[in-house]
Amino acid sequence: MNITPTCRYGHGDLLKVEEETKVWGYVAPNKPTMMFLGNLFICTTCGYTEFFDDEFELTARKATNEHT
């Protein structure tokens, strides 16, 4: 399921930042062995950015399989 996040300041849908050579992720501070993958979205009006996982099931499955 694909969901497009919206700007928290009311400017509408955020634009997905797509770069073929990069994967966006972060490491949880309380679980340093886990990495969460997602997509970076930006508001073209104000620059608000949001890290959002629009493919949760696929990402969670990949992360689980890589660590087992």
Residue ranges of domains in the chain: 15-66
What residues pair up with 51 in beta bridges, in sequence order? 40
Mean pLDDT of the chain: 77
Which of the two residues, 11 and 65, has the higher pLDDT score?
11
Cα separations (Å) of 46 from 10, 13, 16? 10, 12, 15
Which of the two residues, 1 and 60, has the higher pLDDT score?
1
Q: Are 54 and 2 in contact (CB under 8 A)?
A: yes
Q: Evaluate if residue 56 carries a pLDDT over 90.
A: no
Confidence band for 59, pLDDT divided at 50, 70 and 90: very low
